[in-house]
Amino acid sequence: MGRLFGTDGIRGVANQYPITCEVALKTGQAVGLFTKENGYKMVIIGKDTRISGDMLESALAAGVSSTGIDVLLAGVIPTPGVAYLCSSIKDAGAGIVISASHNPYQDNGIKIFKYGGEKLSDEQENQIEDYILGSNDTPRGNVGKITVISDSLERHSDFLLAGFPFKKLDKKLKMIIDSSNGAASKIARMVFNDNLFDARFIHDSPDGKNINDGCGSQHTQELQRLVVKEKADIGLAFDGDADRLIAVDENGTEITGDRILAVCAKFAKERGRLNNNTVVSTIMSNIGLSRTLDSLEICHIKSDVGDRKVLEAMKRSGAVIGGEDSGHTIFLDYHTTGDGIFSALRLLEVMVETGQSLSSLASIMTVYPQILMNVEVDKSRPDFMQINTIANTIKAVERKLGDTGRVLIRYSGTQPLIRVMVEGPDQNQIKRYCHDICEIIKKNI
Active-site positions?
101
Q: Which H, E and C letters describe the chain, residue by residue? A: CCCCEECCEEEEECCCCCCCHHHHHHHHHHHHHHHHHCCCCEEEEEECCCCCHHHHHHHHHHHHHCCCCEEEEEEECCHHHHHHHHHHCCCEEEEEEECCCCCCCCEEEEEEEECCCEECCHHHHHHHHHHHHHCCCCCCCCCCCEEECCCHHHHHHHHHHCCCCHHHCCCCCEEEEECCCCCHHHHHHHHCCCCCCEEEEECCCCCCCCCCCCCHHHCCHHHHHHHHHCCCCEEEEECCCCCCEEEECCCCCEECHHHHHHHHHHHHHHCCCCHHHEEEEECCCCHHHHHHHHHCCCEEEEECCCHHHHHHHHHHHCCCEEECCCCCEEECCCCCCCCHHHHHHHHHHHHHHHCCCHHHHHCCCCCCCEEEEEEECCCCCCCHHHCHHHHHHHHHHHHHHHHHCEEEEEECCCCCEEEEEEECCCHHHHHHHHHHHHHHHHHHC
Are the C-beta atoms of 285 and 302 separated by less than 8 Å?
Answer: yes
